[in-house]
A and B are shown apart, each in its own frame.
Chain A
């Protein structure tokens, strides 16, 4: 797992069959990176379906959700259509799991991503991470708490100027 306050490694992956998305294109917004094992989880308690209901809550914090798994872009397309997802699913398919490995989210035994969450701030810095136990959908409360904390900190502290923090 990458630690808080490290720079989020940039990457570019397919978001649709013919379009790629680069992480750094999302600067100026927070990014919630959700690595998950596989498309087509059979239960209503599916993590991505839950997050799909969260758009309004994430938007309050200027945050964009992105799902990542090793499934192909075609699987993602069908999965997103079926569940009416309104956020991108990225395909970490070739070389398989390369981005997940970079983020410490690859499980070499199963060949799938672990359920790992990151929040990256507007400047591309990792500010929160979470790994959930195998088979457990982590819900969204941790993400919301972390987003709130980030926004609270920002309103209290001055932005760093020339690399030094100004005390209020």
Chain B
């Protein structure tokens, strides 16, 4: 997997023992299911976890997914990537252009700036770069998770991903003690 870098949006300390990267699609129902699960994991693991979200829109089956990804990048330019990310997943069945603008307004984003930014080529390029890095890393659908750089092939529903991460954390900690 491509290493976490300065183009990524991340939450959590850079030196956290656990790095979780999600390749996701804002209109994918499975990613919608994963969203609260990830929230819970972030809450439970606190500073032990660094979480990164990368875009992997399957744009032909999910017609609003690409624009939604661009919208989060536009929000990022105003310092509100994660707020937009969350809001979009919470409204993932209604992501047409008008609704995206409403979501942006509800976050208090500068509307004029936002509308200019979502048409910038550089933001589309950023989304495509994410997609390509996913393809290169063997992402074959969404959501795909990487834990400390390694593709996670296990189940993530319920508490399975949390339990796996907790186990990894114990291993990391005990390896550090040796």
The residues of B that contact A84 with a CB separation of less than 8 Å are: 60-61
The residues of B that contact A50 with a CB separation of less than 8 Å are: 58, 140-141
Nearest CB on B from A118, distance (A): 18
Residues 116-140 of B, flagged 1 when their CB comes within 8 A of A and 0 if not, give 0000000000000001100111111
Residues 58-86 of A, flagged 1 when their CB comes within 8 A of B and 0 if not, give 00000000000000000000000001111
Chain B: interface size category: 10 to 19
Known: A53-B58, A83-B61. A47 touches B135 (CB 8 A): no
The residues of B that contact A46 with a CB separation of less than 8 Å are: 141
Check if B44 is an interface residue, CB within 8 A of chain A. Answer: no
Q: Are A139 and B138 in contact (CB under 8 A)?
A: yes
Check if B157 is an interface residue, CB within 8 A of chain A. Answer: no
Chain A: interface size category: 20 to 34
Q: Are B28 and A57 in contact (CB under 8 A)?
A: no
The residues of B that contact A49 with a CB separation of less than 8 Å are: 58, 60-61, 141
Known: A83-B61, A138-B140, A141-B138. A57 touches B132 (CB 8 A): yes
Binding site for B on A (CB under 8 A): 43-47, 49-50, 52-54, 57, 83-86, 137-141, 144
